[in-house]
């Protein structure tokens, strides 16, 4: 009798282990990729030989990221809309910029965390990489509204910034708008947040609890992984409203790029980045999941299934890099004054 009982327990344990291993295989076959644990492997993904990451460049980029003087008014920084203490977003439906102007297309600010892994930047995918993306909000009228020439004058009028650029790039470096914006992007490249799901993909099957594993299986079976995959679990251009009309489509005039494609938002840290969708109209993650099922997959996701998927999404909340707010260098009498017009 004891032998039969022991064999039954062993068989049950083997069955559970097999099921767990099968789910891990299923996840990898669905296109999920983990953030590397090895720093050298991570650098292969995020570094650029043309402008390699260094401690000096990253620290300078961080200062510029937090410096409101990069904006015309002198009160808006990159961190205003991509707040690193709020999941890399601003927590409002539409980004608010210069002269308290809401985004004219009613577009929501995407998270900056893990943006280095996105194949496309902006909701319409018009920028291929972070260095190019960083220019847009600075110059855009409804955002930071600062012409390139003004940004250059502000930064080069501050001796400490000039010194830091010389240290980071050499004394012959031309401190122009391209270099300033690309330096910001180098800091942004470091905003990577490895999560329990990455540990799971690396083979630690205890990194997810049973509810999260069940949610992962539901996520895959429902077809969510067809768009939300890769290392970013999003970040690629995909057709929108494939199966039905998005119920808040009338809010704002955004319709994607010329082909009607929209950048798939990353699901990393998704529990922190409400409101959801390009126009920020849904605050409940469960509601966002169910709406996506209808709009993109043409299916009904039940309340229970939405809860299961939400459990899995919680495993994508990653460990944030420790960011110390920088002390910014002093302006001079030559530094162009704030302009509120």
Mean pLDDT of 155-161: 98
pLDDT, tens only, 67-109: 999 999 999 999 999 999 999 999 999 999 999 999 999 999 9
Phi, psi of 238 (to 5 degrees): -140, 150
pLDDT, tens only, 225-250: 999 999 999 999 999 999 999 999 99
The alpha carbon of residue 331 and the mean position of all alpha carbons in its chain are separated, in whole angstroms, by: 32
Active-site option among 59, 143, 188, 241? 143
Residues of the chain with CATH 1.10.760.10: 24-40+193-316, 46-189
Q: Give the pTM.
A: 0.92
Q: What is the pLDDT of residue 21?
A: 78
CATH of the domain spanning 24-40+193-316: 1.10.760.10
Report the sign of the C-alpha dihedral through residues 210, 211, 217, 220, in that order: negative
Q: Tell me: is residue 228 an annotated ligand-binding position.
A: yes
Structural tokens at position 282: 């849904």
- The answer to whether the CB of 209 falls within 8 A of the CB of 314 is no
291 is catalytic: no
Residue of 160, 180, 175 whose CA lies nearest to 326: 160
pLDDT, tens only, 33-47: 999 999 999 999 999
Q: Tell me: is residue 10 an annotated ligand-binding position.
A: no
Residue of 238, 336, 225, 269 whose CA lies nearest to 113: 269
Q: Report CA-CA distances (Å) from 129 to 89, 282, 303, 331.
A: 19, 28, 37, 31
Q: Tell me: is residue 82 an annotated ligand-binding position.
A: yes
Residue of 270, 273, 254, 257 whose CA lies nearest to 127: 257
Topology of domain 46-189, per CATH? Cytochrome Bc1 Complex; Chain D, domain 2 (1.10.760)
Structural tokens at position 310: 């939400």
Q: What is the mean pLDDT of the chain?
A: 93
Q: Tell me: is residue 78 an annotated ligand-binding position.
A: yes
What percentage of the chain reaches a pLDDT higher than 70?
A: 94
């Amino acid at each position: 009798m004891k032998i039969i009982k022991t064999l039954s327990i062993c068989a049950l344990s083997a069955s559970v282990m097999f099921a767990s291993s099968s789910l891990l295989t299923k996840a990898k076959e669905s296109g999920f990729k983990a953030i590397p644990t090895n720093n050298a492997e991570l650098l292969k993904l995020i570094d650029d030989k043309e402008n390699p990451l260094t401690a000096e460049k990253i620290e300078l980029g961080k200062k510029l990221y937090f410096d409101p003087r990069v904006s015309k008014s002198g009160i808006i920084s990159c961190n205003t809309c991509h707040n690193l203490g709020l999941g890399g977003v601003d927590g409002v439906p539409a980004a608010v910029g210069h002269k308290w102007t809401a985004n004219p297309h009613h577009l929501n600010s995407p998270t900056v965390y893990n943006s280095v892994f996105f194949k496309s930047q902006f909701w319409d995918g018009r920028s291929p990489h972070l260095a190019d993306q960083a220019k847009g909000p600075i110059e855009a009228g409804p955002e930071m509204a600062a012409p390139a020439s003004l940004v250059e004058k502000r930064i080069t009028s501050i001796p400490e910034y000039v010194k830091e650029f010389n240290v980071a790039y050499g004394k012959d470096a031309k401190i122009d708008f391209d270099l300033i914006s690309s330096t910001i992007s180098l800091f942004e490249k470091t905003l990577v947040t490895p999560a329990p799901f990455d540990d799971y993909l690396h083979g630690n099957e205890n990194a997810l609890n049973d509810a999260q594993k069940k949610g992962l299986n539901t996520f895959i079976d429902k077809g969510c992984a067809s768009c939300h995959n890769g290392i970013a679990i999003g970040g690629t251009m995909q057709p929108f409203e494939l199966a039905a009309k998005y119920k808040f489509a009338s809010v704002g005039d955004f319709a994607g790029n010329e082909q009607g494609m929209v950048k798939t938002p990353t699901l990393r840290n998704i529990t922190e980045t409400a409101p959801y969708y390009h126009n920020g109209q849904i605050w409940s993650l469960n509601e966002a999941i169910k709406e996506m099922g209808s709009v993109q997959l043409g299916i009904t996701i039940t309340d229970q299934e939405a809860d299961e998927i939400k459990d899995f999404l919680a495993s994508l909340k990653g460990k944030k890099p420790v960011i110390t707010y920088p002390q910014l260098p002093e302006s001079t009498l030559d530094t162009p004054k704030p302009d509120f017009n």
